[in-house]
Amino acid sequence: MCKIITRMISRVLYISTLVLTLLILGVSSTVTENKGASFGYMGTHGPGEWGRLSPEYSECAKGKLQSPLNIMKTKVVRSKIFKPLTRNYVPANATLCNNQFNIGVKYEGDAGSMEVNGKTYSLKQMHWHSPSEHRLNGVRYPVELHLVHQAEDLSLSVVAILFNYSTPDPLLLKIKEKMEELSKEVCAGNEEAHVPLGILDLKLLKKNTRKYYRYVGSLTTPPCYENVLWTVLGKVRSISHEQVAAIKAPLKSDCKNNARPCQPLNGRMVELYEDLSRN
Ligand SMILES: *[C@@H]1O[C@H](CO)[C@@H](O)[C@H](O)[C@H]1NC(C)=O
Ligand SMILES: *[C@@H]1O[C@H](CO)[C@@H](O)[C@H](O)[C@H]1NC(C)=O
């Protein structure tokens, strides 16, 4: 169990934990063991090497349906029928987590769901990438939020929301203090740092869904599993410079810029759904 302690004590604890972990595991590089082999965004553990870090990560190198993509607006196929994005989130107990390679929010119990082609995907977690992973017409944005949903058959559906610098994001504003708490927290052993958020209402994230891009891709972090149904919202939201700094602060140094480069399209179709009835 992680405890919030003063900075000085936590530093000593951090170093002794580090030494202990290194001794026990006999590893010499990083302590970012997160279930699978450790990975990062730079150098020998960077995205170009992911497929070689573990046999489990082979899809990162060999997969043909990988994410993220650079979405070129002239190449997308406009769907003739607008299918509204059906999402029913319910206020749920949440925990803010430092996954080391990103900051995320996990939900306990029922946080609601989204529906695609008659299939229900329950909201499991969300996390931030900075800069953005997906690009629109080659433009990379400062931040991208991923809302990860899973169906009963374990298939995944992720909603991506892009952010540009402007006014603060209301959701991050709400959890500002918790984010500061998280950046001070250090964990024993391999356990990830986390801070309870209490009940988090996601109605803020349901706005602006009259335009979105849809394609089939993959997880953007190892093991890069495929057949993930992606929905990238067309409406770019706003975030402040301070908020971008806050979601980077707790991360380890080679994950502060945690965006995987864009992957080849390999003949895939990106569909555009746009509600043209209201303007
Ligand atoms: C939310 O989680 C906290 C900590 O795990 C727990 O004490 C509390 O009872 C939970 N609240 C609800 C409404 O589930
Ligand atoms: C993002 O915001 C900046 C101002 O902070 C603006 O100059 C830029 O054009 C915006 N980018 C896009 C692609 O809208």
Distances in whole angstroms, Cα of residue 148 to Cα of each of 170, 172, 218: 20, 18, 12
Does the structure show a pLDDT above 60 at 133? Answer: yes
Task: Give the number of the ligand closest to the Cα of residue 241.
Answer: 2
Ligand 1 pocket: which of 2, 93, 195 to mutate (most atoms within 8 A of CB): 93
pTM for this entry:
0.85
Mean pLDDT computed over 172-193: 76
Is 199 among the domain residues?
A: yes
**Crossing angle of the two packed helices 176-184 and 241-248, in degrees rounded to 10:** 30
Query: Confidence band (pLDDT; 50, 70, 90) for 108?
Result: confident
Mean pLDDT computed over 195-219: 87
Q: How far does residue 90's CA lie from ligand 2's centre (Å)?
A: 32
Q: How many domains does the chain contain in total? A: 1
The pLDDT, as a whole number, for residue 6 is 42
Query: Confidence band (pLDDT; 50, 70, 90) for 278?
Result: low
Give tens-digit pLDDT for 34-59: 457 889 999 999 999 999 999 999 99
Q: Which atom of ligand 2 is nearest to the CA of 136?
A: 13
Is 279 among the domain residues?
A: no
Does the structure show a pLDDT above 80 at 28? Answer: no
Lowest mean pLDDT among 151-160, 185-194, 213-222: 185-194
Beta strand 135-136 pairing with 119-129? unpaired
The pLDDT, as a whole number, for residue 35 is 59
The pLDDT, as a whole number, for residue 29 is 31
Residue nearest to atom 11 of ligand 1 (CA): 93
Give tens-digit pLDDT for 152-162: 999 999 999 99
Is 131 among the domain residues?
A: yes
The pLDDT, as a whole number, for residue 269 is 96
The pLDDT, as a whole number, for residue 191 is 58
Is 18 among the domain residues?
A: yes
Give tens-digit pLDDT for 4-13: 444 444 444 4
Is 230 among the domain residues?
A: yes
Residues spanned by the domain of 229? 2-274
Distances in whole angstroms, Cα of residue 272 to Cα of each of 101, 116, 138, 202: 30, 15, 17, 24
Is 30 among the domain residues?
A: yes
Task: Give the number of the ligand closest to the Cα of residue 106.
Answer: 1
Q: Ligand 2 site: residues with CB under 6 angstroms?
A: 139, 164-166
Does the structure show a pLDDT above 70 at 33? Answer: no
Q: How far is CA 23 from the centre of its chain?
A: 32
Is 66 among the domain residues?
A: yes
Average pLDDT taken over every residue of the chain: 85
Residue 124: CATH number of its domain: 3.10.200.10
Q: Which residues contact 110 (CB under 8 A, 6 or more apart)?
A: 90, 92, 122
Query: Confidence band (pLDDT; 50, 70, 90) for 279?
Result: low
Is 6 among the domain residues?
A: yes
